[in-house]
């Protein structure tokens, strides 16, 4: 049978809608768990009202809400002791109840985004995700909103939901917004990396990188190269990983906000190769560049690992304790699990086998309820290695790869010089 319009190369299809939830028993359940109380109830009702209005046909909206719903909501907002910055967006939703057939659509989208920003500032990730998604459903033509839903879902460990929104963003952005198009591919690569599908992660990240080069999206080129470095290092392709690390370092430059995290990841790369002294040197140098405890906790855990491998017991103990103290500030279950893995490896490198096994088992408990396949597999293998190392009475250290020095003395010196220049520039500004 001939294809439509007589063109056998054309295929028409209807894209599947993105997932609105993954594990919630009802819409907004995570919001209520995160923010119980009167204000949480008002936020949840506002979310449900926006969702109902969005899903209703235009000719059904006038009769969607009871006549007294707007007055009742105004009283609930007043009684919930909402913060001043929430009043305006909540009252925009309240007006929706009063006149559902006469809605200022852009203003309603803005109100949802304002509530999401409030949630972000307060650390309420479920509130943030719920209202960003509400805005994305109100404005389904905007790829950046779809991307934001995908990224937030990924960060909360809702991977199927995240993938559906990121692919929606890619479809919407193609040909119109190359920055978001490339960014969505990079985020999809991170998602696949978290799930342990490293070949898929490399493929979609490479696509994002090539798009950033071809379409001259320069701000994303360093990010893409950085991501390719971490993926290929996990794949144990050390030679190619070092090439990506060099390219990312040059593209970022010392003043890029992500340069310190690249240095951290290069330090981890050297730990994986058994280059502990070099890793210790760069991790100690880059630690002051991190202002947030959410980042410091990871750097300290890897510094403990490097110090243990280098035989610096004092630095190992201090870094281990400081990382433990910051664990409550970790931003996500994935980060918490990863920190515990690094602490377990640090302890195993120092022959603290009991401490290592306890840390690894904690990581397994954290990762267990989540779809963190790569982390669970890593921890299970690690526990077996710790048991074997204890039985043999030896430290658990990585084996340096064959084929010469891939550790990169020149790269280490470049990093230290760049960090020194960056600190000098910051001091001059201060």
C-beta atoms surrounding 231 within 10 Å: 25
Range of the domain at 377: 292-397
Structural domain contains residue 351: yes
How many Cα atoms occupy the beta-carbon half-sphere of 130 within 13 Å? Answer: 28
Residue where one domain finishes, among candidates 139, 160, 186: 139
Residue where one domain finishes, among candidates 87, 114, 139: 139
Structural domain contains residue 201: no
Question: Which H or E run includes 387?
Answer: helix 373-392
Residues 240-285 have pLDDT tens digits of: 998 999 999 999 998 999 999 999 999 999 998 899 999 999 999 9
Q: Looking at per-residue confidence, does 407 or 429 come out higher?
A: 429
Residues 136-173 have pLDDT tens digits of: 999 999 999 999 999 999 988 899 999 999 999 999 99
The total number of structural domains in the chain stands at: 2
Residues above pLDDT 70, as percent of the chain:
92
Q: Which of 40, 201, 217, 38 is nearest to 119 (CA)?
A: 40
Residue 384 has pLDDT above 50, yes or no: yes
CA–CA gap between residue 73 and residue 79 (Å, rounded): 10
CA–CA gap between residue 150 and residue 169 (Å, rounded): 8
Block residue for tokens 């120092």: 350
Cα-only R_g, the chain: 25
Structural domain contains residue 283: no
Structural domain contains residue 115: yes
Across the range 280-295, mean pLDDT stands at 94
8-12, 140-144, 204-208, 389-393: range with lowest mean pLDDT: 8-12
Please give the model's pTM, rounded to 2 decimal places.
0.87
Structural domain contains residue 98: yes
Structural domain contains residue 409: no
Structural domain contains residue 90: yes
Structural domain contains residue 268: no
Please give the structure tokens belonging to residue 100.
């559902």
Residue 10 has pLDDT above 90, yes or no: no
Residues 188-205 have pLDDT tens digits of: 999 999 888 999 999 999
pLDDT class of 7 with cuts at 50, 70, 90: very low
Residue 372 has pLDDT above 80, yes or no: no
């Amino acid at each position: 049978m001939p294809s439509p319009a007589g063109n056998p190369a054309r295929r028409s299809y209807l894209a599947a809608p993105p997932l609105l939830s993954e594990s919630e028993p009802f819409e907004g359940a995570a919001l209520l768990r995160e923010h119980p109380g009167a204000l949480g109830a008002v936020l949840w009702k506002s979310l449900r009202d926006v969702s109902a209005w969005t899903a209703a046909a235009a000719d059904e909206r006038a009769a969607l809400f009871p006549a007294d719903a707007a007055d009742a909501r105004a009283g609930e907002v007043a009684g919930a002791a909402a913060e001043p910055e929430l009043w305006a967006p909540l009252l925009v939703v309240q007006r929706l109840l009063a006149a559902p057939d006469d809605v200022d659509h852009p203003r309603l989208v803005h109100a949802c985004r304002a509530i999401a920003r409030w949630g972000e500032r307060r650390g309420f990730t479920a509130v943030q995700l719920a209202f960003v998604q509400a805005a994305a459903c109100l404005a389904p033509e905007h790829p950046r909103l779809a991307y934001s839903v995908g990224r937030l879902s990924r960060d909360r460990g809702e991977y199927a939901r995240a993938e559906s929104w990121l692919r929606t963003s890619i479809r919407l952005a193609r040909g119109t917004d190359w920055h978001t198009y490339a960014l969505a591919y990079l985020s999809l690569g991170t998602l696949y990396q978290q799930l342990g599908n490293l070949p898929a992660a490399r493929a979609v990240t490479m696509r994002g990188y090539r798009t950033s080069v071809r379409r001259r999206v320069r701000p994303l080129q360093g990010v893409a190269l950085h991501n390719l470095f971490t993926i290929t290092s996990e794949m144990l392709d050390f030679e190619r990983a070092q090439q990506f690390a060099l390219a990312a370092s040059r593209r970022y430059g010392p003043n890029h906000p992500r340069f310190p995290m690249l240095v951290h990841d290069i330090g981890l790369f050297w730990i994986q190769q058994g280059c502990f002294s070099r890793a210790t040197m760069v991790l100690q140098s880059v630690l002051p560049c991190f202002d947030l405890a959410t980042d410091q906790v990871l750097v300290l855990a890897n510094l403990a690992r490097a110090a243990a491998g280098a035989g610096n017991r004092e630095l190992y103990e201090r870094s281990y304790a400081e990382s433990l103290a910051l664990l409550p500030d970790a931003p996500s279950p994935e980060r918490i699990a990863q920190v515990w893995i690094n602490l377990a490896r640090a302890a195993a490198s120092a022959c603290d086998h009991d401490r290592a096994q306890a840390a690894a088992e904690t990581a397994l408990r954290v990762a267990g309820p989540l779809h963190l396949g790569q982390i669970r597999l890593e921890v299970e293998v690690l526990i077996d290695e710790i048991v074997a190392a204890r039985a043999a009475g030896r430290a658990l250290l990585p084996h340096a790869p064959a084929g010469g020095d891939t550790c990169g003395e020149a790269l280490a010196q470049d990093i230290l010089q760049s960090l020194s220049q960056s600190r000098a520039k910051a001091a001059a500004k201060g």
